[in-house]
Each structure stands twice: as C-alpha cells, then as structure tokens.
C-alpha cells in the first residue's frame, strides 16, 4: 500500500458543482494532515490543515477518519479559479518530513 | 505566513555542467530544509533533508555525490546538481518548517531545470 494514495484524476466539473477528493494513508501513527493546492508549474501552497474533528474554511471542508486512515476534501460551489491539483499530505511519524500524495487534478469549466 | 525564496526560478544548462539552486528562509530560521523533485504529472518526491551545520540525509535512491547539499546557515540551503544530464531535468522545490511537529511546510517558488 502506498504511503499516501489519492483518487486518480482529473475531475472535470462545471462551475457551481460540489466535488469531493479522497485520500488514504498507510501509517496509523501519522499525526498531521494537510491539503495543499498546486497550480501548474508552481510550488504547492497550503489550502488547509485537517483536524480530527473536521474543519471548514469557506467553501472547503476537510475531514479525517483515523480508524479508516482516510482524509477527504469537499469543495462546494466550485469556481473556475479552483482548477488546480490538490495534494494530500501526511507527516512521516518519527521524522520531520512530509509525504505527498500524487495529487488529484480538478478542472472547473464554465 | 513565512517566506521561503528559491533562486533561480528557471535554468537551462548544457549536459555535463553543474547547477546550483539556492533556498532561503527570509523571515525565520530554518534548522531543517527539504529538497523535493517533481517530474511532470508526478508527486513531489523527497530527495534529501538538509540540516544546518551537518550532513544532509538523503532518501534511498538519491545519489549524494550528484546532488550536493550545503546548509551553511540557518537561512540558506543550496542544492548543486553536478554533471547534469537530460534525465535530471525536473522541477526542484525546497521547503522549510518553522519548527518540528505538526506545522505546515512553506515552499520556495521552485526551480525548473532543463538540461540540454
């Protein structure tokens, strides 16, 4: 099983749609979880951290299920500007490093 | 948020030459910086962890003699790709975390290396 595995993409959705991304991680000892956004040919930027109780930031909702080792990101009312690759990121227990998923590309069309 | 500056953003070099990439933390001290490589449509792959004042820790499969890392100060880490070959063409990104533990990573702007 890969350390961090994400839905394959791309996801093509119309403006205004709701889209959900899923991610699973292999190491049950992981403690920190993040969703990053990466635009084409740019560096990744933090979208939001993922907390055990779930958290929301505007149109974005992140959830964590430790028992299933599963993380999700929900985007409501998609905008054209949401088009990007979304990276699921998990810390590597015992190390200061982060492990990145392959990313899921989202394409929002008019 | 914290700022990490990476330079150059783009470089084209001839096969066999060496290229140095700099990564600076502008408003914080980073005892540890990380170097990643990303090939097209692939995830970021950690190459090495750069530790200030000591040797870098390389991931399995990354040649330490080819990818030289120097972290001489708390705000600067450099990655030198020696004797570059076309297969080294990639997007190289550095990142730093302000402190250990559960904090986000801040990324440099990345360097797109093309070896011709």
pLDDT digits (tens, 9 = 90+) for B69-105: 998 888 999 999 999 999 999 999 999 877 655 567 8
The values of phi and psi at residue B92, to 5°, are -105, 130
Could you tell me if A75 lies within 8 Å of chain B, comparing CB atoms? Answer: no
Q: How far is CA B42 from the centre of its chain?
A: 17
**CA angle A48–A78–A14, rounded 5-degree value:** 145
Residue A37's pLDDT is 95
Alpha-carbon span B22 to B28, nearest angstrom:
16
Query: Residue A31 — very low, low, confident or very high, per pLDDT cuts 50/70/90?
Result: confident
Closest CA–CA distance from residue B102 to any residue of chain A (Å):
6
From B81, B110, B83, select the one nearest B19 (Cα to Cα): B81
Half-sphere exposure of A79 (CA within 13 A, CB side): 5
CB pairs under 8 A between A and B: 48
% of chain B with per-residue pLDDT over 70: 95
- Residue A68: exposed, middle, or buried by beta-carbon count in 10 A (0-12, 13-18, 19+)? exposed
Encode pLDDT of A42-94 as tens digits: 889 999 999 888 899 999 999 999 999 999 999 999 999 999 999 999 987 77
* DSSP, res A39: -
Between A9 and A77, name the one with better pLDDT: A77
% of chain A with per-residue pLDDT over 90: 72
Query: Residue B1 — very low, low, confident or very high, per pLDDT cuts 50/70/90?
Result: low
Which whole number is the average pLDDT over B24-41?
88
Contact residues, chain A, for B102 at CB < 8 Å: 31-32, 91
By the 8 A CB rule, do B48 and B35 touch? yes
Contact residues, chain B, for A97 at CB < 8 Å: 34, 46, 49
Closest CA–CA distance from residue B83 to any residue of chain A (Å):
24
B43/A45 CB distance under 8 A: no
Query: Residue B28 — very low, low, confident or very high, per pLDDT cuts 50/70/90?
Result: confident
* Biggest distance spanned by C-alpha atoms of chain B: 41
From B80, B66, B89, select the one nearest B23 (Cα to Cα): B80
Residue B47's pLDDT is 94
Contact residues, chain B, for A100 at CB < 8 Å: 36, 43-45
Alpha-carbon span B53 to B32, nearest angstrom:
10
């Amino acid at each position: 099983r890969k350390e961090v595995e994400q839905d394959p993409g791309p996801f093509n959705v119309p403006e205004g749609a709701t889209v959900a991304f899923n991610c699973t991680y292999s190491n049950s000892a992981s403690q920190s979880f993040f969703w990053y956004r990466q635009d084409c040919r740019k560096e990744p930027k933090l979208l939001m951290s993922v907390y055990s109780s779930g958290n929301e930031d505007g149109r974005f909702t992140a959830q964590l299920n430790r028992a299933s080792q599963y993380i999700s990101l929900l985007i409501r009312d998609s905008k054209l500007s949401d088009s990007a690759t979304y990276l699921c990121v998990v810390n590597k227990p015992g190390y200061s490093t982060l492990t990145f998923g392959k990313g899921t590309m989202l394409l929002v069309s008019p | 948020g914290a700022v990490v500056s990476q330079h150059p953003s783009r470089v084209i070099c001839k096969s066999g030459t060496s290229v140095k990439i700099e990564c600076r933390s502008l408003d914080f001290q980073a005892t540890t910086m990380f170097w990643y490589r990303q090939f097209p449509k692939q995830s970021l792959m950690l190459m090495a962890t750069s530790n200030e004042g000591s040797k870098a820790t390389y991931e399995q499969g990354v040649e330490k003699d080819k990818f030289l890392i120097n972290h001489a100060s708390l705000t600067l880490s450099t990655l030198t790709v020696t004797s570059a070959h076309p297969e080294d063409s990639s997007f190289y990104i550095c990142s730093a975390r302000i402190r250990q533990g559960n904090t986000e990573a801040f990324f440099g702007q990345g360097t797109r290396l093309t070896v011709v």
